[in-house]
Amino acid sequence: MLDIAYYPGCTLFEKAKELDRQAKNIANVFGYNLTEIPEWTCCGTVFPDTSKNISRLVGPYRMLANTASISDKLLTICSACFNVLKRTNKIVRENQEIREKLEGYTELTYNGDIEVIHYFEFLRDVVTYEKISEKIPVKRKLKVSPYYGCLLLRPHDELMFDDPENPTFLRDIITALGDESVEIPSQNECCGAYLLLNRQKEDLNLAKKIGLESQDFGSEILVTSCPSCYYALGKSGEANAVYFTEYMSGALGL
Amino acid sequence: MKNEINEEILKEFKKLSEENVHDCYQCGKCSAGCPSAANMSILPHMVIRRLQRNQPVEAIIEDAIWKCTSCMTCWSRCPKKVNLCRIMETLRFIYMTKYNDKYPISEIPKELLEEAPQQLIISGMRKFTY
């Protein structure tokens, strides 16, 4: 078993425990052990877009600095955590002024040299799709729609993960698992989860649109990795949304 | 009086966002791709237009800044790479530092707090409170 430094984040620790458990089980199947980094805290979930908000980078900076002493890679599953940690890592690497301020805040030195990876990158680059494909006992031939959401794709310049207009990583996993990928037009559009706290009726319209599209295209399930998307899509009542780990566990027979 | 407020907000805006709104040539691609545009009282490119005309108050009083879902589609498609996502965030930030929280935590319904994922609650709080 190879250990990989892993940051679960608050949501996987509480409301999305199954995402955390299933992801660990899947990694075990391929001979990897997701080891939680010590003393992790909330990442802040939103990358601060106003330049005054350096204090909001302290949380992710502290986690990255703590990881640097034990590993050169940090794996995360939650889309928001990935977005925040990866963008923080980049800004720390490239912006000396911000780095020095964060050093002053935390009394930890870190220059941005670890790599933040998402679970999908781990499946794609470390495990590889061929290995995944070999482990499938029976091909179920389901019709599955990938739903990517925003935080794994944009901003592309900073995340460098997949094409924000035509992403393929979920499609490739679905194909590797022996199912049919049914791509819907809204697969990379926002589900509007942020707006739910506004408590206005139209706020579920975006999630409903995604759900209805998946029905129209005849897909049986809609897979996503983001806890907020999962919540909004489920709340819309139109989509049969599941976490990709749940879907993958089913395919692997776990 | 209004001019003074406009000037003050504009100064704050430039300092916080570090965006040059005059890069925008009003092609409207942001509004065309915005998932929330249908619910906004003015379209995203009109928010920028009001800033270009030195009328940030006219932009800040519209609900467009609160309907923005921070999905970054506008920014990723902009031919001039204007970060509208950042502009919206800065306007929200200025509104809240100047006036008040948009939705205080005490007003969030209890059932939403119980069932929503932490990620959503925290990001919502960061968006709607200062």
**pLDDT at residue B104, as a whole number:** 80
Instruction: Compute the nearest-CA separation of A19 from chain B (Å).
Output: 12
What is the residue-wise DSSP string for A101-137?
A: HHHHHH-----S-SEEEEHHHIIIIII-HHHHHHT-S
A180: phi then psi, degrees, rounded to nearest 5: -95, 125
Task: Report percent pLDDT > 90 for chain A.
Answer: 87
What pLDDT band is residue A201 in, cutting at 50, 70 and 90?
Answer: low
**pLDDT at residue A199, as a whole number:** 64
For the record, the structure tokens of A124 come out as 């794609």
Say if B105 is an interface residue toward chain A (CB within 8 Å): no
In chain A, residues 31-90 whose CB comes closer than 8 Å to chain B: 42, 44-46, 49-53, 56, 78, 80
Where b means 16+ CB within 10 Å and e means fewer, B46-77 reads: bbbbbbeeebbebbbebebbbbbbbbbbbbbb
Model ipTM value: 0.93
User: Please, which residues bridge with residue A115 across strands?
Assistant: A73
CA R_g for chain B: 15
Q: State mean pLDDT over B71-95.
A: 94
Q: Is the pLDDT of residue A216 over 80?
A: yes
Q: Residue A50 is nearest to which of B35, B66, B90, comparing CB atoms?
A: B90
Q: How far is CA A92 from CA A89, A152, A177, B19, in A?
A: 5, 20, 38, 20
Give every CB contact of residue A97 below 8 A, 6+ residues apart in sequence. none
**pLDDT at residue A134, as a whole number:** 93
A7: phi then psi, degrees, rounded to nearest 5: -115, 110
Instruction: Compute the nearest-CA separation of A68 from chain B (Å).
Output: 25
Please write the tens of the pLDDT for every residue from B100-123: 888 887 888 888 888 899 999 888
CB contact under 8 A, B118 and A230: no
H/E segment holding residue B80: none
H/E segment holding residue A186: none
Contact A70, A5 (CB under 8 A): yes
Please write the tens of the pLDDT for every residue from A108-148: 999 999 999 999 999 999 999 999 999 999 989 999 999 99
Please write the tens of the pLDDT for every residue from B21-78: 999 999 999 999 999 999 899 999 999 999 999 999 999 999 999 999 999 999 999 9
> Comparing B100 with A191, which gets the higher pLDDT?
A191
Of the ranges A195-209, A216-230, B83-97, which one carries the lowest mean pLDDT score?
A195-209
Please write the tens of the pLDDT for every residue from A43-82: 989 998 887 778 889 999 999 999 999 999 999 999 999 9
Parallel/antiparallel/unpaired status of strands A143-146 and A221-224: parallel
User: Which is nearest to A145 in space by CA: A195, A190, A180?
Assistant: A180
SS3 (DSSP) at A82: helix
CB contact under 8 A, B16 and A227: no
**pLDDT at residue A125, as a whole number:** 95
Q: Is the pLDDT of residue B92 over 80?
A: yes
**A-chain residues within 8 Å CB-CB of B122?**
10, 42, 44-46
